[in-house]
Chain A
Amino acid sequence: MYDMKELEKKWLKYKIKQSIPWFMLVIVVALMILYYNNRVKVNTLLMYYYDQISERYFPKKIETNTTIVVLDNRSEVVEVPLPDINESEDELNVSDEIFDVNDTLYETNSSNPFFSSIKDAPEVDKKTPEEILEDEIEKRHEKKYIHIKKSSDAYREVEKRFATSQDPEDALFLARIYYEKKNYKKAEEWAFIANELNDESEESWLIYAKAKAARGEYLKAIHILDSYLQKTNSLGARKLLEEYKAKLSKK
């Protein structure tokens, strides 16, 4: 009789060898099931750790849940909510400031030269103010190219652009955005730059003052507004000045 112990060992080896592919298959299937069942949990966990790490090592300067619409050939840059971008232009939360010129269409004052010109227009061109406004919006949109970018990229791009353009509008935009995002120090810096480039820009004065006040520097804010009021008679500046004075007296 041959060595049965040896034969049994060989058989055991054979069984192990034979079961390896099945074992691997079971592991793969189990992993797949585990993955699909916990995909959401894993993603959430990963996102959580990602946020934790990025917050710790790369503190957010600007929130990224918004999208910036940069309108080419204009200094105006408008922030709009991200989900609304692809839906319709009506839903774009575009600042009214873009359409400042068109606001005059609503005016009933006949002395307004723009309004008069519309009134004197030929019969065929007569349209309601709303229709004219819509046409105007359409025209504007036809000429503009909209680039949708993540906010952090857009800010960086505007900042980068500013280095060469020195456009006060860009500086003011950055001041406005930083103020909205409660990054008052940055807002203050950019408002100051905007003001340096164009000291007639009321908004730069006001953001500068508001940023100072937000950082608790009410005296400085009052001083800034006082300086501006010596130059102009801004109602907005006066209102802010009174507000800050009141807050300071309460302290």
Chain B
Amino acid sequence: MSSYKLLKNIFVDTIDVDEYIELESALYSYNTLFDSISRPLKMILLFGRPGTGKSVLLNRIYQNLKYQREIHYFDAPSIEPREFFRKFFKLVTLKELPKNTEVNFTTLIDYCKSIRGKREITILLDEAQMYDEQMLEKIRVLSDTGAIKFVISIHKTQNEDLIAKEHFQTRIWETIELRNISKEELKTYIHKKLLKRNYFDIADTIKDKHIHLIYSFTKGNFRECNKVMFKIFEIYEYYEAQPHYKIEPKKFSTKFIEMAAIRLGYIHV
């Protein structure tokens, strides 16, 4: 298999904990969230623009705490309330909901109240902006029981900020904002990703000027960075297969970065 094919796969956008790269800013966010979960808070809001690492952070917290406490990760939002409460019912009561039955919300609330002080359940809700207002209102009521702690991850947009303010203003006790990483961190991120798979030579060819160029397109967004890096190595893979094209192995191609940027629409020609 082409080495460039393997290289491009390193940058496939995933929330796999094994692919997690420890960065200073990410470590700070992790510690803040970890502390917040440890404290008796009803709701924690995790917000930031898409690709800032919210899902990765939630997943990492989940993986690290799942054997220590009662924590559950809702990665994909359940659009249908029925499905959400079925899932919720199961993890709270530890029982399957009988077929052709629906969760009685009032009963569920009562149940949650009954376990207050006995159990401490943490629910990590990813992509919470997908839930409608009615669902968010029910989540708020559930958190008010004091038995369920919600970590809500939402995208930071004007509307989503509004949702956060309107529904959780009085209940969210901790907010954690994730931001795009700096240029230096982007360099560390790319290098660490490559070094993790022992691509020392390739990592060594990626200099500051390349990082500067990549940063100018991605603005330090993990998802965008992964997309660009994936595309760069895809282009490498193509040219490697061309008999008349000679790739310089000791020099990372600025041309390929720009071509990737054109392909991804960062550069409009």
Contact = CB atoms under 8 A, between A and B. Distances in A.
A1 B238 contact: yes
B196 interface: no
Report whether over half of chain B's contact residues are helix, strand or loop; otherwise say mixed: helix
Q: Which 10 A-B pairs have the closest CB atoms?
A: A10-B269, A14-B269, A11-B259, A13-B269, A10-B262, A4-B238, A7-B259, A7-B263, A11-B258, A14-B267
Contacts of B255: 11
B235 interface: yes
Interface in B250-265: 255, 258-259, 262-263
Contact of A8 (B234, B259, B267): B259
B258 A14 contact: yes
Contacts of A2: 263
Contacts of B235: 4, 7
A251 interface: no
Contacts of A13: 269
A223 to B, nearest CB: 93
A21 to B, nearest CB: 16
A231 interface: no
Interface string A1-39: 110100110110111010000000000000000000000
Given A7-B263, A11-B269, 9 more contacts: A4-B235, A4-B238, A7-B235, A8-B259, A10-B269, A11-B255, A13-B269, A14-B262, A15-B258
Interface residues of B, number: 10
B231 to A, nearest CB: 10
Interface residues of A, number: 11
Contacts of A10: 259, 262, 269
Contacts of A14: 258, 262, 267, 269
Contacts of A11: 255, 258-259, 262, 269
Interface string A48-69: 0000000000000000000000
Contacts of B267: 14
A13 B263 CA distance: 13
Contacts of B263: 2, 7
B217 to A, nearest CB: 13
Interface string A153-172: 00000000000000000000
Nearest to B262: A10
A10 B235 CA distance: 14
Given A1-B238, A4-B235, A4-B238, A17 B269 contact: yes
B212 to A, nearest CB: 15
Interface string B78-99: 0000000000000000000000
B241 to A, nearest CB: 9
A153 B255 CA distance: 68
Contacts of A17: 269
A4 B242 CA distance: 11
Nearest to A1: B238
A16 B263 CA distance: 17
